[in-house]
Amino acid sequence: MTQPVAIHGHFYQPPRENPFTGEVPREKGAEPYHDYNEKIAVECYQPNALAGNLDRISFNIGPTLIGWLDRHDHKTYRRIQEADRVHRQTHGVGNAIAQPVHHTILPLARRRDKITQIKWGIASFRHRYGRQPRGMWLPEMAVDLITLEILSRRGLSFTILSEEQVQGEVHGNAGPYRVRLPGGGFFAVFVRDRHVSNQLSFATDQITAGRQWLADQVQGRQGLMLIATDGETFGHHQRRGVQLLTDMLRDEAGSPYQLVTLADYLRTHPPVREIEISERTAWSCSHHLGRWDRGCGCTPGDHSWKPVLRSTLDLLADEIDAIYLYELRRLFSNPWLLVDQYIDVVLGVADMNTLIREATSAKLTTGQSLRIGKLVQAQLHRQRMFTSCGWFFEKLNRPEPRYVIAQAMRAIQLVKQATGTDLGPDFREALCAAKCGRARTGLLAPGHTAAMLYDEIEAANQLVLS
């Protein structure tokens, strides 16, 4: 009897666009390429798509990344779409699953933001693949029951977690399992084999031949084995990754394993056994999400800036939301519906003015429509402020914290243009408390603050901010 094996690739890159220009700046270290998106596309996305590897694995591609591929590497983008289409034709279900749009750590997000990120992720998936997703990848696998409840209510069927995120022994069996939801009913969870997944991710130098290695891993197992890892493992993080994956996916008579994909396996193997999740956990932090909140041992050195940056952005989000609701409640019965639908404008399938006109019975002037449009657009950048990458690493003076601060500044600019209210001075003042605390890091020496990043971003974008 052959052993079922699923390989899932989580393909994602942090957003790199300047929010004031919409362009990705040239990135140091990506040479000879313009930026890391371009570099990783050549090393990973292009060769895996060309080899047909996406045809046989389960995968998700971050909505911001697949949007970049659509604009800058359309041939690879089309091959990704084709992989899901062909799998749907041959198996009755696709092999791609969705992801929230901005890689937000959902358990740390407000309920309203959870809903928006999930709705936007579903809408983006439908736009790219022409169908409703069955599963959704959670950013950093960060999970809580409220998030699973929202996934279920939005028509999704399953997600993926790691062994350390569930209570009880699963013995390397991926399930799927049932998780009881607070509002009643169940949600399906596949559980990856952490050891095998990490071996493939970080110890490829110990793997001579991919197919033989995978055959060794399935010996003595019962039930589904799931390997889930960053898709960039295959070609970018690990230079031999494309070769190893291609070898593992080869058809061969007498193979001890059979490759399956998650949606297809769930259809024929509905979950029976019930498990409980460990809430507020993630696959890349063992400190109850401290990496993206209060700081923790996952990032060595001083991380005291992390809680300050998060609380400062939380406060700014409250202020942006209050202004948004004050301005729109008089004209719209459900102002948040406009935000949820705005993803269609971002994807280029709807017009902002038409969206506004159809959402209210009020007769709006051109000036009112422009102001409302700017406030809705501010909500987009307010969502981007919470991209997980902003807190992932130790240093404050990395591109990722700069990115979330720049997104906040763009939201502030749009609110000011719409209403005349300037949230910038108070925001900058609050950033003064987020300080570097170790040896010199780039331009920021010990004691320097996130407010200095604010000033640098402002200076670099003076023309568009004025």
Class of the CATH-defined domain 3-277:
alpha beta
Rounded CA-CA distance 7/26 in Å is 33
List the single range of 25-29, 384-388, 427-431 with lowest mean pLDDT.
25-29
Q: How confident is the model at residue 24 (pLDDT cuts 50, 70, 90)?
A: very high
What pLDDT, in 10s, does the model give residues 324-346? 999 999 999 999 999 999 999 99
List the single range of 87-91, 386-390, 397-401 with lowest mean pLDDT.
397-401
What separation in angstroms does the CA of 404 have from each of 143, 179, 223, 269, 389? 22, 33, 42, 41, 9
Whether the predicted pLDDT of 301 surpasses 50: yes
Q: How confident is the model at residue 442 (pLDDT cuts 50, 70, 90)?
A: very low
The reported pLDDT for the residue numbered 463 is: 65
The reported pLDDT for the residue numbered 465 is: 67
What pLDDT, in 10s, does the model give residues 78-113? 999 999 999 999 999 999 999 999 999 999 999 999
Rounded CA-CA distance 96/318 in Å is 35
The reported pLDDT for the residue numbered 439 is: 43
Q: So where are the chain's domains?
A: 3-277, 294-465
Q: How confident is the model at residue 32 (pLDDT cuts 50, 70, 90)?
A: very high
HSE (side-chain half, CA atoms, 13 Å) at 461: 21
Q: Which amino acid, residue 160?
A: I
Tokens of 363: 């007769």
Q: Which residue has the higher pLDDT, 27 or 203?
A: 27
DSSP 218-281: TTT--S-EEEEEEGGGBTTTBTTHHHHHHHHT---TT-SEEE--HHHHHHHS---SEEEE-SSB
Whether the predicted pLDDT of 240 surpasses 80: yes
E-strand ranges in 133-185 read 158-162, 166-167, 177-180
Q: How confident is the model at residue 440 (pLDDT cuts 50, 70, 90)?
A: very low
Rounded CA-CA distance 121/261 in Å is 21
- Which pTM does this prediction carry? 0.95
Q: Are 16 and 24 in contact (CB under 8 A)?
A: yes
Across 251-263, average pLDDT: 92
Across 393-419, average pLDDT: 96
Across 36-57, average pLDDT: 97
Q: Are strands 177-180 and 186-192 parallel, antiparallel or unpaired?
A: antiparallel
Average pLDDT, the chain: 94
The reported pLDDT for the residue numbered 245 is: 95
Whether the predicted pLDDT of 372 surpasses 90: yes
What sign for the dihedral angle of Cα 402, 446, 460, 416?
positive
